[in-house]
Amino acid sequence: MGDIKKIAVLTSGGDAPGMNSAVRAVVFSAVNLGIEVEGILRGYDGLIDWETMPLNLINVRNINNRGGTMLFTSRSERFLQPEYRKQAADNLRANHVDALVAIGGDGTLRGAITFKEEGINIICIPGTIDRDMACTEYTLGFDTAANTAMEAIDRIRDSSISHGRCSVVEVMGRKRGYIALWAGMATSADAIVLPEKWEGNFDGIIEELKKRHTDGRDSYLVVVAEGVIDAEELAEMIQKETGIESRVSVLGYIQRGGQPTAKDRMYGSLMGAYAIEILRQGMQNRIVAIKNDVLVDYDITEAVNMQNNTFDSFQYELSLRLSE
Ligand code: F6P
């Protein structure tokens, strides 16, 4: 195990289902190798304030099935400033921590890169519902969020059918449209608005809905990824141009909460164990990732510079062909 006697683990950024499984796997894998584990509370903020709890095989029991993160989280503004990063690094050194495992999304990875300059060995695990990290095919939380969005839209559709309305449903995803695409396709949406594909074609959506209206359809569903267009404006436009009564539902944080799916528990466990394995091998400043469905790892600076070109246009084309 080289010189590693003690590690710390934290979760940072938006919480994501599966983070707890990753924490649990980190603790089990480390403790079984005789490594002590310090849990850092509230992400990078907890590192600055040294808000911690020792983790062991007892206190990470029964968390696999829990949403959120048992370590709490934050989007730390202070960590963007060098003096606070130095304070955080000094805390780790004063407490004899040899390496840090950070679980989170893009912001967490960027924070890790700046922290590397403080001489801290940091291993990242991708955790965000958005699935928006170029270096990996999968990020913890996506599967649960997509399923939660799908189930919520199924319920909204029931009401839509009863009232003969058009439902415009806004889902999360930051700058990526994966949740919208998966939830929209799984619920046979009439239209899906994605950041990767949106060319301002409001008329296309209106024409399609009009055509379906004329053909005798009695309910309609449009799924919109957040930040692309204003869902309220779209609903008003649909109502005005087609005469179909329209309503907006913004799914919001229900997509981040709830019990993780088997996939998120499994991938959380695999990624957590893999992080400890690469530390055991003496690796430094790496991110765990999935490529071709297999666990791999990359240098964190290389990872942050990768281009996000994994969006599958075929899946989008298919969603148009299969929309009902
Ligand atoms: O990154 C996860 C995410 O839920 C995004 O989908 C969303 O845009 C953002 O976080 C919301 O952030 P906050 O929790 O700061 O409101």
List of residues 6+ apart from 160 with CB closer than 8 A: 166, 167, 219, 220, 221, 247
Per the residue annotation, which of 106, 130, 143, 190 is the catalytic one? 130
State the pTM of this model. Answer: 0.97
Cα of 278 vs centre of ligand 1, distance in Å, is 30
Q: What pLDDT is recorded for position 307?
A: 87
- Give all strands of the β-sheet with 99-104 in edge-to-edge order: 52-55, 36-40, 6-11, 99-104, 122-126, 286-291, 294-299
Name beta bridge partners: 11.
103
197-205, long-range: CB within 8 Å, 24+ apart, which pairs?
A: 197/313, 197/316, 198/228, 198/229, 202/234, 202/237, 205/234, 205/238
pLDDT along the chain (324 residues), means of 10: 87 98 98 98 98 98 97 98 97 98 97 92 98 96 98 97 97 96 96 93 94 92 97 97 97 98 98 98 97 97 87 88 84
Mutation probe of ligand 1 site: the residue of 172, 176, 179, 228 with most atoms within 8 A of C-beta: 172
Mutation probe of ligand 1 site: the residue of 129, 139, 179 with most atoms within 8 A of C-beta: 129
Question: How many CA atoms within 13 Å lie on the side-chain side of 9?
Answer: 31
Is 130 labeled as catalytic in the residue annotation? yes
Cα of 41 vs centre of ligand 1, distance in Å, is 19
Q: What pLDDT is recorded for position 310?
A: 67
Read off the pLDDT of residues 232-255 as tens digits, 9 standing for 90 and up.
999 999 999 999 999 999 999 999
Whether 197 and 316 have beta carbons less than 8 Å apart is answered as yes
Ligand 1 is surrounded, with C-beta below 6 A, by 14, 75, 105, 128-130, 172-174, 226, 256
Q: What distance in Å separates the CA atoms of residue 130 and residue 117, rounded to the nearest whole number?
A: 28
Q: What pLDDT is recorded for position 162?
A: 97
Q: Residue 296: is it exposed, middle or buried by C-beta count within 10 angstroms (0-12/13-18/19+)?
A: middle
